[in-house]
């Protein structure tokens, strides 16, 4: 039986040395140490031996069993460590490799034009004021000398939230709120969104507007012309023609619309889709503040005067970039927006 144990040990060690993976290792373990393994079979037969032989054979068999189990555990641990090392090497992050750059966003073209417009006026000494998008009838209409029967109050022109509450149709209510809380002199610009029931290639139900107001003791129409002419030249170039055309607004008197020379055709194309061949394009409305507006905020129109103007930033941007459809600003098409 000792020779049989020696044979089992030698064959088991040779088989373990020949193993290439854990599956082979398990097969050897089952062959020699499993419930029906060769060494297990020898141990089961020890009971048939004489007591003196039984002890000696039992000790030898146990020594061989421990030797084989240690060898199996050593091989298994070595392979597992090798696998971990290989896995770590394969999955290692090389921090010297340049990362994947994400594309950087940029300001929306309307915000770019808004920022540029505000910068032009703040350089002239104007300060920025803001107010609520939801307004009451008084600040949006009545205080601005817009009577109850004015067309602007019609449902087809104004978004009414309640009988006396609207989405503001212009940023002019902020002028009223500022004058109610402050005494002249003052000069402000008011940027913000406004809302009207209008939707076509040159109009949007929500658009961005900027109002301007200057009030003092000696303000005249010449100041208005100087400020707005300076703005046009700063925005579109010093050679851009400017003209003031008489108009009507309830909250200014006298009133004027400001036109600039067509930035697309310069007046040379009779079929120009922007200026319709006239060579001129209207960009904003303006005028001297109406005395009734001053009275509504507690100013004495005999002691103070001022001018106001309002422009659609969407229109300013369309002319600046040569865009013929206002909807492009709001569709979120990245092919369009990336151009700016």
**pLDDT for position 155:** 47
3-state secondary structure of 339: coil
Q: In this predicted structure, what is the pLDDT of residue 266?
A: 67
pLDDT in tens, the chain (340 residues): 677 778 878 888 888 888 878 888 888 888 877 877 777 777 776 666 666 676 777 777 778 888 888 888 888 888 888 888 887 777 777 778 787 888 788 889 999 999 999 999 999 999 999 999 899 988 988 898 887 776 655 644 788 888 888 899 889 999 999 999 999 899 999 999 899 876 665 566 888 899 999 999 999 999 999 999 999 999 998 988 999 999 999 899 999 999 998 877 766 677 776 677 778 888 999 999 999 999 999 999 999 999 999 998 988 998 888 887 878 888 888 888 888 8
pLDDT at 181: 92
pLDDT at position 152 is 58
Return d(Cα 271, Cα 284) in angstroms, integer: 23
pLDDT (0 to 100) of residue 19:
83
SS3 305: strand
Instruction: Return d(Cα 158, Cα 198) in angstroms, integer.
Output: 9
Q: What single-letter DSSP state applies at residue 183? A: P
- Separation of alpha carbons 39 and 7, rounded Å: 10
The reported pLDDT for the residue numbered 10 is 81
Whether residue 71 contacts residue 39, with contact meaning beta carbons closer than 8 Å, is answered with no
Give me the pLDDT at residue 49, please: 65
What own/partner pairs with CB < 8 Å and gap ≥ 24 does 273-280 have?
Answer: 273/324, 274/319, 274/324, 280/241, 280/243
Q: Considering the entire predicted model, what is its pTM?
A: 0.65
pLDDT at 148: 75
């Amino acid at each position: 039986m000792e020779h049989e144990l020696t044979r089992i040990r030698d064959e088991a060690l040779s088989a373990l040395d020949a193993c290439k993976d854990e599956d082979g290792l398990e097969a050897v373990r089952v062959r020699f140490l499993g419930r029906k393994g060769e060494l297990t079979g020898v141990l089961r037969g020890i009971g048939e031996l004489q007591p003196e032989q039984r002890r000696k054979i039992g000790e030898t068999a146990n020594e061989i069993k421990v030797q084989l189990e240690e060898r199996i555990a050593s091989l298994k641990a070595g392979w597992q460590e090798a696998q971990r090392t290989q896995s770590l090497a394969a999955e290692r992050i090389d921090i010297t490799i340049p990362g994947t750059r994400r594309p950087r966003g940029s300001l929306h073209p309307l915000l770019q034009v808004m920022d540029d417009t505000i910068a032009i006026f703040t350089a002239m000494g104007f300060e920025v004021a803001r107010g609520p998008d939801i307004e009451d009838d008084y600040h949006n209409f009545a205080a601005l000398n817009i009577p109850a029967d004015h067309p602007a109050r019609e449902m087809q022109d104004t978004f009414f939230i309640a009988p006396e509450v609207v989405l503001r149709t212009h940023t002019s209510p902020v002028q009223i709120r500022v004058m109610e809380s402050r005494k002249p002199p003052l000069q402000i610009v008011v940027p913000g969104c406004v809302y009207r029931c209008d939707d076509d290639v040159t109009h949007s139900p929500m658009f961005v507007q900027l109002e301007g107001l200057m009030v003092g003791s000696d303000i005249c129409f010449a100041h208005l012309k100087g400020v707005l002419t300076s703005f046009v030249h700063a925005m579109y170039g010093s050679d851009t023609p400017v003209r003031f055309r008489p108009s009507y607004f309830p909250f200014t008197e006298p009133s004027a619309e400001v036109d600039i020379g067509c930035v697309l055709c310069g007046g040379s194309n009779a079929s120009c889709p922007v200026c319709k061949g006239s060579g001129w394009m209207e960009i904003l409305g303006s005028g001297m503040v109406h005395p009734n507006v001053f009275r509504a905020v507690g100013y004495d129109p005999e002691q103070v005067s001022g001018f106001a103007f309002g422009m659609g930033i969407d229109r300013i941007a369309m002319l600046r970039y040569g865009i013929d459809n206002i909807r492009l600003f709001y569709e979120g098409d990245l092919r369009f927006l990336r151009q700016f």
